[in-house]
Amino acid sequence: MATPKALKQKPRLRSPVPMMILMCITAIALLFLFSSMGSTKGFSFSSLQTHLKRRKNSRQHSLHDKYLYWGDRIDCPGKHCDSCEGLGHQESSLRCALEEAIFLNRTFVMPSRMCINPIHNSKGILHNLANTTAEERWAASSCAMDSLYDIDLISETVPVILDNSDVWHLILSTSMKLGARGVAHVEGLARVDLKEDSRYSNLLLINRTASPLSWFMECKDRNNRSAVLLPYSFLPSVAAEKLRNAADQVL
């Protein structure tokens, strides 16, 4: 007995409506993209590619590098530990520390926060708040360093890491395990001695206690132009991206 052949089902024709909707959505998205690009001042694919390339090629720090640490606050330890000095004062101190890192060919361990409270008395001491300690007042008046400066941009001139990073915790624990072979605590030594003396030059970490007056006192020969490694305009030029964008809007 002959069996009937299986009937072939005719392929169903897809409705063109979903495809048209998809094409419309794509067209609207492209139109929005190009209109946004046209309304953005200074936009260019080359600048975007440069920015992405810089982020992609950010320096990777490891135990093969050597590090320089001045403290967890600018101008501290010293008389300014509980102070909130002016931004120009603090940038001078920070620039001095960065210059030493360049001179020693070391990665600088930068404080992760900076106090920028605009309210000072005549001595620059923070106004007292009721029922708060000096530590709490300083913390309340400080902000993240990477909200002020572009760390990757700074690192293109002098390598830096923040003292709240995982890399710093690794460096710190490793140097403590190595003891005298890993870290030296120095005070009052010239940067030339730190560079030329093998007792310091080969160490993983140099922990410097800078002048208690201010960090920038370590750069006493700033009047000697050949000794100035970073211009005064360096830190303002590497402000955080949001601050640079805000400045561009004002200009």
Residue-wise pLDDT tens for the chain (251 aa)?
444 444 344 444 444 444 544 444 444 343 333 333 433 343 333 333 444 444 445 667 767 889 999 999 898 877 767 777 778 888 999 999 999 999 999 999 999 998 876 554 444 445 555 566 767 776 767 889 999 999 999 999 999 999 999 999 999 999 999 988 899 999 999 899 999 998 898 999 999 998 888 898 888 765 665 667 899 899 999 999 998 888 778 76
Helix extents (H) in 83-163 = 87-104, 134-140, 151-155
Inside any domain, residue 107? yes
* Predicted TM-score (pTM) above 0.75: no
Question: Which uninterrupted H or E stretch holds 186?
Answer: strand 183-187
Q: Please give the backbone phi and psi of residue 160, each rounded to the nearest 5 degrees, phi first.
A: -140, 150
Inside any domain, residue 66? no
Per-residue pLDDT, 78: 75
Cα–Cα distance, 199 to 197 (Å, whole number): 5
Cα–Cα distance, 54 to 99 (Å, whole number): 22
Domain of residue 84 covers 72-250
Q: How many domains does the chain have?
A: 1
Inside any domain, residue 40? no
Per-residue pLDDT, 34: 38
Inside any domain, residue 34? no
Inside any domain, residue 115? yes
Inside any domain, residue 196? yes
Inside any domain, residue 23? no
Contact 237, 98 (CB under 8 A): no
DSSP percent split of the chain into helix, strand, coil, nearest 5: 45, 15, 40
Question: CA 34, 38, 40, 45: dihedral to nearest 10 degrees?
Answer: 70
Per-residue pLDDT, 59: 65
Per-residue pLDDT, 103: 94
Inside any domain, residue 25? no
